Structure 1
Amino acid sequence: MNYEYISVEREGKLTLVTLQRPEAHNALNAAAHEELEHAFNAFAEDDQQWVAIITGSGSKAFCAGHDLKQQASGGGLTTPSTGFGGLASRFDLNKPVIAAVNGVAMGGGFELALACDIIVAAPTAVFALPEPKVGLAALAGGLQRLPRLIGLKRSMGMLLTGRRVTAAEGRELGFVNEVAEDDVIVAARRWAESILACSPMSVRATKEAVLRGLDTPIEQALIEEWEYPQMKAMLASQDAVEGPKAFAEKRQPSWTGH
């Protein structure tokens, strides 16, 4: 696919996806949704790509959500089967995704960030789910993910008012991992490098077990996690041999992802 509204760069085992509609605060129209679904499909299927970062172009916005101008002109709220931005309803992606929030993350833009595993925010970033102010609701995961992340009362304080939250407050509430002191992409790359230093088999098994265990009683999850596909693949992998061997030999492991 030739991308018009996003760019995709592959740097070693890292995929960098950038929203490219700065004139519209990186709001997503129908074509942008399709491009993002294609990009994340390619990331999921490529064994040589282990971590992804998603960010927005320009300094003002990460993503302002749906393109409401398109909706107002009859374009509707159509999104791919994988959800807002091709990510919000993608529940089978075991590779980690980092949101580098460089500015405003509103509505679906905030929900896109919430669908990622780690959120790194610029000090100027602002988060909100303002859908009730325009007669809508945060149906791209916000209503479900935010309470699970920060609790019922804190999330209701945002969801029922549509109020804006700064990066610093997002860090205090618990949905922002880091407020970047330097460039947000530099900070996101540091997180990616830390993940890439680990076995991708272990990382995928960990993500799968954590997410599948969220709504499972712990005594049941402790039994079931051994049978999860990514966990079984990890335990049978070359990496599971290489890790202890490298530790015993006092050297850095050489991960193969197999």
Structure 2
Amino acid sequence: MAYEHIKIDREGPVTVVTLNRPDVMNALHAPAHFELHEAFDAFAADPDQWVAIVTGAGERAFSAGNDLKHQASGGGMGLPPSGFAGLTQRFDLNKPLIAAVNGVAMGGGFEIALACDLIIAADTATFALPEPRVGLAALAGGLHRLPRQIGLKAAMGMILTGRRVAAAEGQALGFVNDVVPAADLMDAARRWAAQICELSPMSIRASKEAVFKGLDEPSLEAAMAGQMRYPATAAMLRSEDFKEGPRAFAEKRKPNWQGR
């Protein structure tokens, strides 16, 4: 499908989603949100796509968040049910997402990255939730995901000041997984994706689902008891991959994962 505001590339089992509005620092408006909703729906439904990388076009920005100029000019602010960028309220996606942050990740742009499972950042990247500077609040998940990912005090230090955090500090705080030179960013993101793709996609989906559903359980005991009921765990246990892994180990060969 042809898109106007995003670009989709499929590299084997890896889908690369590029926010493609570099003239406005990849800020997003309603048409872009709905395109991303469709693209991530397609990724979720495609059994041959195992991992997605999300990045921004150009060198300046991953995403500057909400397109405030579009909003100020009377443009609509509609969002799909999956939320900002088709991601921030997509709670049922058990395939891994990697944010390759190539520059500014502000407001909604940072919230997109926080909605991903891994953040790989260029050494030039910066992150912030500056919405209060323009009379808004980070209501696309930033106020909830950031404290859960780095702890309350560190998160409040960013939220209550709107300050910019460089990639290296983001790694020290714990929300960035890897910092690399800007020229190496996509190669690094692809290496992380390739490492994930070496593993059974059924196992990866079961693992991701168990982590996130388990965090909502009232105790460790409840999380461990509940994990056998999760859909991705059940799918893993009846999959071809569940049979292939032990067989390949016994035969001393590389597994041939099917993702089904």
Q: TM-score normalised to the size of structure 2?
A: 0.97
Superposition deviation, residue 248 in structure 1: 1.5
> Is residue 98 of structure 2 the alignment partner of residue 107 of structure 1?
no
Distance 1:218 1:154 in 2: 25
SS in 2 for 1:205: helix
Greater than 3 Å deviation, 4+ residue runs: none
Partner of residue 244, structure 1: 246
Partner of residue 176, structure 1: 176
SS in 1 for 2:73: helix
Contact residue 63 and residue 106 of structure 2 kept, 8 A: yes
Q: Can you give the 5+ residue segments of structure 2 that lack an aligned partner in the other structure? A: none
Distance 2:34 2:216 in 1: 31
Partner of residue 30, structure 1: 30
Distance 1:59 1:241 in 2: 44
Distance 1:78 1:114 in 2: 21
Contact residue 238 and residue 256 of structure 1 kept, 8 A: yes
Contact residue 131 and residue 138 of structure 1 kept, 8 A: yes
Partner of residue 70, structure 1: 70
Distance 2:207 2:195 in 1: 15
SS in 2 for 1:75: coil
Q: 1:67 to 1:185 in 2, by over 3 A?
A: same
Aligned amino acid, residue 69 of structure 2: K
Contact residue 27 and residue 67 of structure 2 kept, 8 A: yes
SS in 2 for 1:100: strand
Partner of residue 151, structure 2: 151
> Is residue 40 of structure 2 the alignment partner of residue 50 of structure 1?
no
Q: TM-score normalised to the size of structure 1?
A: 0.98
Aligned amino acid, residue 190 of structure 1: R
Contact residue 30 and residue 76 of structure 2 kept, 8 A: no
Q: Percent identical across equivalent pairs? A: 66
Distance 2:20 2:153 in 1: 35
Partner of residue 220, structure 2: 218
Partner of residue 194, structure 2: 193
Cα deviations across residues 3-27 of structure 1 (Å, max 9, x unaligned)?
0111001111110010111110000
User: How many pairs were matched up?
Assistant: 258
Superposition deviation, residue 76 in structure 1: 4.7
